[in-house]
Structure 1
Amino acid sequence: MNAIISASELADGLAGDTPPVVLDVRWQLTLAKAAGEPAFDGRAAYASGHVPGAVYVDLDRELAGTPGPRGRHPLPDLAEFGAAMRRAGVSAARPVVVYDGGQGWAAARAWWLLRWTGHPDVRVLDGGLPSWQGELQTDVPVPAEGDFEPAPVAGELLDADGAAALARSGVLLDARAGERYRGEVEPIDRVGGHIPGALSAPTTDNVGPDGRFLPAGDLRDRFKALGAAEGTRVGVYCGSGVSGAHEVLALAVAGVPAALYVGSWSEWSSDPSRPVAVGPDPQ
Structure 2
Amino acid sequence: MASFLISTEDLAGQLNAPDLNIVDASWHLDGRDARAEFEQMRIPGAVFFDLDAVSDHTTDLPHMLPDAAAFAQAAGALGITASHQIVVYDTQGLFSAARVWWTFRLMGAEDVRVLDGGLPKWRAEARSLASGPMKPPTPAVFTPGRRRGAVADMPMVLAALTGDAQILDARPAARFSGEAAEPRPGMRSGHMPGALNVPFKSVLDAEGRLLPAGALRDRFRQAGVTFDRPIITSCGSGVTAAVLTLALAELGQDSALYDGAWAEWGSREDTPVVTGS
| Offset at residue 84 of structure 1 (A) | 1.0
Taking the aligned partners of 1:103 and 1:276, their CA distance within structure 2 comes to 32
| d(CA) in 2 for partners of 1:73, 1:18 | 30
Tell me whether 19-28 or 53-62 shows the greater mean CA deviation.
19-28
- Aligned residue in 2 for 1:86: 76
TM-score normalized by structure 2?
0.91
Deviation at 1:244, TM superposition (A): 0.6
Kept in 1: contact 2:93–2:120 (CA 8 A):
no
Question: Partners in 2 of 1:176 and 1:249 — Cα distance?
Answer: 16
Aligned 8 A contact 2:21 2:84 in 1: yes
Instruction: Supply the RMSD in Å over aligned alpha carbons.
Output: 1.7
| Contact 1:176–1:238 (Cα < 8 Å) also in 2 | yes
Residue number among 110, 122, 125 corresponding to 2:112 in the alignment = 122
Answering whether residue 203 of structure 2 is matched by residue 211 of structure 1, we say no
Aligned match of 2:165: 170
Determine whether 1:245 maps to 2:242. yes
Alpha-carbon offset, residue 103 of structure 1? 4.3
Q: What is the 5 A alignment of 1:148-159?
A: 148-159=142-153
Distance 1:201 1:14 in 2: 35
Aligned to 1:265: 262
1:74 to 30, 41, 64: 64
Match of 1:135 among 94, 106, 128: 128
State the distance in 2 between where 1:138 and 1:153 align: 35
Distance in 1, matches of 2:93 and 2:53, equals 19
Which ranges of 4 or more aligned residues in structure 1 deviate by more than 4 Å? none
SS of residue paired to 2:147: coil
Counterpart residue number, 1:48:
40
Q: Quick check: 161-170 or 231-240, which moved more?
A: 161-170
Q: SS at 1:13's partner residue?
A: coil
* SS state at 1:161 partner: helix
Contact 1:180 1:192 in 2 (8 A): yes
Point out where structure 2 has 5 or more consecutive residues left out of the alignment. none
Q: Separation in 2 of the partners of 1:238 and 1:25? A: 18
The one-character-per-residue Cα deviations of 1:184-208 (angstroms, maximum 9, x if unpaired) are 1123252101111111110110101
Q: Who is 2:56 aligned against?
A: 65
Residue in 2 aligned with 1:34? none
CA contact (8 A) 1:118 1:151 kept: yes
Per-residue CA distance 1:141-199 (angstroms, 9 max, x = gap): 33222221222111111001201222422211000001111111123252101111111
Number of aligned residue pairs: give it.
269
Counting aligned pairs with the same residue, the percent is 39
Distance in 2, Cα, partners of 1:194 & 1:149: 38
Structure 1 contact 72–267 (Cα < 8 Å) conserved: no
Residues 40-83 of structure 1 show CA distances to partners (whole Å, capped at 9, x for unaligned) of 11111011121010001111111x323845x3222123322111
Answer yes or no: is 1:21 the counterpart of 2:36. Answer: no
Structure 2 equivalent of residue 33 of structure 1: none
**Contact (CA 8 Å) 2:213, 2:250: kept in 1 or not?**
yes
Opposite residue 116 of structure 1, the aligned amino acid is L
Taking the aligned partners of 1:205 and 1:103, their CA distance within structure 2 comes to 14
Bigger mean CA offset, 216-225 vs 232-241: 216-225
Report the TM-score, using the length of structure 1 for normalisation.
0.89
Structure 1 regions of 5+ residues with no counterpart?
31-38
> Quick one: distance in 1 between partners of 2:82 and 2:49?
18
- Determine if contact 1:101/1:130 at 8 Å carries over to the other structure: yes
